[in-house]
Amino acid sequence: MNSHKNARLTLEGRKLLIERIAVMGLMPAAEAAGISPRTAHKWRRRFVEQGVAGLQDRSSRPARTRTRVDASLAERIAQLRRSRMPMRTIAIIVGRSLATVSRLLARLGLSSLKALDPVAPQVRYEREAPGELLHIDTKKLGRIVRPSHRVTGDRRDSVEGAGWEFAHVAIDDHSRVGFVQMRSDERKTSAVEFLQAAVAHYAALGVTIKRLITDNGSAYRSRLFAKTCQALGIKHSFTRPYRPQTNGKAERFIQTCLREWAYGRIWANSAERTAWLPAFLSYYNARRPHSALGYKPPASRICGNNLLQLDNCERVHRLNVLKPHLQTTIWTLLRDGATQREIARVTGISRHTIRGYQKQFTSQGDAGPPGAIGSGPIQTASPWPPTRPPGSAPSSITSASEPHRAFIASQLSLNRYAMAVYPDLVDQFGFTGAYNSDKRFAARLRKREPQQFDRLSFQPGEQMQVDYGEGAPTRVKGTERFRKPRLFVATLRYSRRSFRRVAWKSSQEVWARLNRTGAVLWRTSRNRRWSISVAAAIARPTSSPKLPGSALAPPRSGGGASRRSAILCTNTSSSVTRMQVARAPR
């Protein structure tokens, strides 16, 4: 209970008061406690009605309060909120405080705008066995002739007309085992050849394809593709139009290929990228953990549940199921004569797995625990990720770029990027380190000073900012044609007062007329003569030629203009008396 500093009675004091009333009577007990008889009578009445619980403090809140928001007003507030109106605007419209509106919306569950558009639940599915459903899709990749501007950072190194090549991908719905081939196009002939190759590939793994799902591409809708599916005994299904989530496993597999293979490192040309494709597929199918499979590789669902049984599959490489230190533990215990049951009790590994490792160790003799079970002669593909050549990372220095510090520093002083410096390191010095090493080293060398911004203050009418904008397509009156109007905007820098007009043309005459109209409007709106001294009206033209007399040059529209023009003018009357166009620095 919370009692103030001048309280005469606490809980124990009230109990003592009840005892005194029973012995001394009401009046003497009240006088002894220093309270009025009325207060003593109140506590005796509560004790008679509720017992000891009636001597506790009660809440001072009224039992009933008049609500300020009735049902009709609450419904109106909810409707306004469902129209995505902000709370402050709703409070102004209904004439209630922001706290009242916020409290009501919180009670209705409409405080957040995300509650108005609930996210549809994701429907995830997975087939029961490998081969029941195969996802096929294509991805267009840029053909690589040489490392171009995306690597060097110089737009002049771009390769024009290199063309495209197409990656045809297939992934099993249950096991997530992927298969990729590069083709020159995505026409029906290439799609049919890839389908036949994919069916043969999965057949070599002991998987029979029963059903196929693709998007609505013309190659997959062709009669040739349909006849091929019929000949192979495959039922062909299509995704809903504009619904890539249905084929989401293929889309996610393509994303992984782009990140870790196609654009995961710098390739000299497309042939080199294609040559590393089998190594990437071996890594993806045999060693890369998959979150949907309990962080096991896709091959764990092919040829049985135990990865040691993958020896029977000719096209799947044997794997490191256990980490090296666990393999060493099993080998040590087996060498010391421990039984499979004892090893399982110590390591927590199933005896079935231990039995498989025991067979592997027995076949290899006493040479010690292998560094990678199943990485022997069956694995013919190159390791993934691509390994760095020997000697590329000296052990005596912290970075492979350290010997070239002077050269990198000189190139950075010329405002060159690390992507542009890296090819020079390779060509001139035979640099064998990775690009990320050069990038991190350049980031440590580059000293970035905070950019200074000067905030200018202006007097009323001293500066006006002028610009043209482009509006939405609008029907031309009296015709069926659509045009994009131009929006002329002039804003005073000091007061932020703005003048806007829509024009269909952006000629010099329209530019001058709108400037004069804005100046006259601002001067007459003050009901007295005053001069607008526009010191600088900032526009966005790529170039503005000097014009004689009072003619004004309109800005030329164009995205990414690298220069600006400061328009210096002084208006002392309704007409423009002087106009200068000065080229501003970059």
CA distance 229 to 223: 10
Q: Say if 383 falls within a structural domain.
A: no
Looking at the structure, tell me whether residues 396 and 516 fall in a common domain.
no
Can you read off the two tokens belonging to residue 181? 């081939």
pLDDT, position 558:
41
pLDDT-based confidence at residue 386 (cuts at 50, 70, 90):
low
Looking at the structure, tell me whether residues 140 and 273 fall in a common domain.
yes
Looking at the structure, tell me whether residues 279 and 148 fall in a common domain.
yes
Output the 3-class SS for 95-120: CCCHHHHHHHHHHHCCCCHHHCCCCC
Quick one: DSSP state of residue 3?
A: -
Can you read off the two tokens belonging to residue 78? 């909810």
CA distance 183 to 166: 5
Say yes or no to pLDDT of 580 above 70: no
* Residue ranges making up the domain that contains 83: 71-115
Looking at the structure, tell me whether residues 160 and 210 fall in a common domain.
yes
- Asked whether the beta carbons of 483 and 474 are under 8 A apart, the reply is yes
Rank 261-275, 332-346, 549-563, 566-580 by mean pLDDT and report only the highest. 261-275
Can you read off the two tokens belonging to residue 185? 């196009």
Q: Say if 472 falls within a structural domain.
A: yes
Looking at the structure, tell me whether residues 479 and 567 fall in a common domain.
yes
Q: Say if 482 falls within a structural domain.
A: yes
Helix axes 324-335, 351-364, angle to 10 degrees: 80
Looking at the structure, tell me whether residues 444 and 509 fall in a common domain.
no
CA distance 57 to 3: 9
The owner of tokens 């666990």 is 326
Looking at the structure, tell me whether residues 153 and 214 fall in a common domain.
yes
Condensed to tens digits (0 to 9), the pLDDT of residues 31-77 reads 998 899 999 999 999 999 999 888 888 888 777 776 678 889 999 99
Condensed to tens digits (0 to 9), the pLDDT of residues 170-200 reads 999 999 999 999 999 999 999 999 999 999 9
Instruction: Choose between 41 and 363: higher pLDDT.
Output: 41
pLDDT, position 382:
53
pLDDT, position 106:
92
CA distance 519 to 577: 12
As a whole number of Å, the end-to-end CA separation of the chain is: 72
- Asked whether the beta carbons of 55 and 9 are under 8 A apart, the reply is no
Looking at the structure, tell me whether residues 153 and 276 fall in a common domain.
yes
- Please tell me the total count of domains within the chain: 6
Residue 329 sits in a domain whose CATH number is 1.10.10
CA distance 7 to 178: 80
Helix (H) or strand (E) holding 223: helix 223-232
Looking at the structure, tell me whether residues 142 and 276 fall in a common domain.
yes
Q: Say if 6 falls within a structural domain.
A: no
Looking at the structure, tell me whether residues 366 and 394 fall in a common domain.
no
Phi, psi angle pair for 498, to nearest 5°: -125, 145
Residue 251 sits in a domain whose CATH number is 3.30.420.10
Dihedral over Cα of 137, 140, 141, 143: its sign: positive
Portion of the chain with pLDDT greater than 90, in percent: 28
Say yes or no to pLDDT of 101 above 70: yes
Rank 210-214, 335-339, 463-467 by mean pLDDT and report only the highest. 210-214
Relative to beta strand 235-238, strand 211-214 is parallel
Domain boundary (312, 337, 371) is at 371
SS3 408: helix
Q: Say if 158 falls within a structural domain.
A: yes
Q: Say if 66 falls within a structural domain.
A: no
CA distance 401 to 408: 8
Say yes or no to pLDDT of 564 above 60: no
Beta strands of 100-216 (E only): which ranges?
134-142, 164-172, 178-183, 211-214
Looking at the structure, tell me whether residues 477 and 564 fall in a common domain.
yes
CA distance 62 to 68: 15
Looking at the structure, tell me whether residues 202 and 91 fall in a common domain.
no
Can you read off the two tokens belonging to residue 111? 């405080």
Q: Say if 123 falls within a structural domain.
A: no
Q: Say if 315 falls within a structural domain.
A: no
Strand partners, 169: 137, 180
CA distance 580 to 570: 10
